[in-house]
Amino acid sequence: MATHDSSALLLVRSTATIGLGLATGLMASYPIVAWPTMYTAESLDIKDRLNLFWYFYEQGASTMKLLLPVSAALLGYASYASRAAADYMPATFVARNRKALLAAAAVLTISNIPWTIFAIMPLNLRLKKLKDSKLTGAGTTDNASDAEIDTMIRSKWAALHGGRILMTATAFLISVAELGSA
């Protein structure tokens, strides 16, 4: 902690770091915890897997809709309010560049929103349509097979979600480094 930071600024930086840690952990838990549940239980058919996928997605989305913007705003404020170490004091690279690093962490965090809207949402909407058609038995113009649906989830969606995890984890690590060295 920098000796010139107020307690309020330390609270803001700490809260943002905790928020990013929670977001990273929750995002990473999906492929680590949810998928083994969906794909090791042999009794689950594609309808059940789609239901589980969508349930986990909705739970994560409801959490991230609050957690990511608040964390980004806190990081943005911390970037604005913090000061770099004095030039005459010995300091690390992180301590000397903390404003830029906090701003970068804020940008990485808030970038999850456009990434989700423009890169992931089209696939999410397709999976939602497939889930609804499988549950109701009504036909759809998208006649994806069960194997294709599994590939959409395990390959396409997983890769896109990995981008979110990477952005959030990077912001978290930057925030931890800044908090620990300022």
Average pLDDT over residues 94-109: 93
The overall average pLDDT reported for the chain is: 89
Distance (Å, whole) CA 127 – CA 152: 8
Q: Token digits for 112?
A: 């999850």
Distance (Å, whole) CA 109 – CA 16: 10
The pTM for the full model equals 0.88
136 pLDDT band, cuts 50/70/90, is: confident
Q: Which residue intervals of the chain are DSSP H helices? A: 7-29, 35-40, 46-81, 93-96, 98-110, 112-114, 121-136, 146-151, 158-181
Q: What is the pLDDT of residues 17-45, one digit of tens each?
A: 999 999 999 999 988 988 887 888 778 88
Distance (Å, whole) CA 157 – CA 100: 31
Q: What is the pLDDT of residues 103-113, one digit of tens each?
A: 999 999 999 99
Give me the percent of the chain exceeding a pLDDT of 70.
95
Give phi and psi for 27, each to the nearest 5: -65, -45
For the cut 50, the answer to whether the pLDDT of residue 2 exceeds it is no
Distance (Å, whole) CA 118 – CA 22: 24
Helix (H, G, I), strand (E, B) or coil at 142: coil
Q: Where are the domains of the chain?
A: 7-181
pLDDT at 182: 60
**Do 13 and 179 meet the contact criterion of CB atoms below 8 Å apart?**
yes
Distance (Å, whole) CA 69 – CA 102: 14
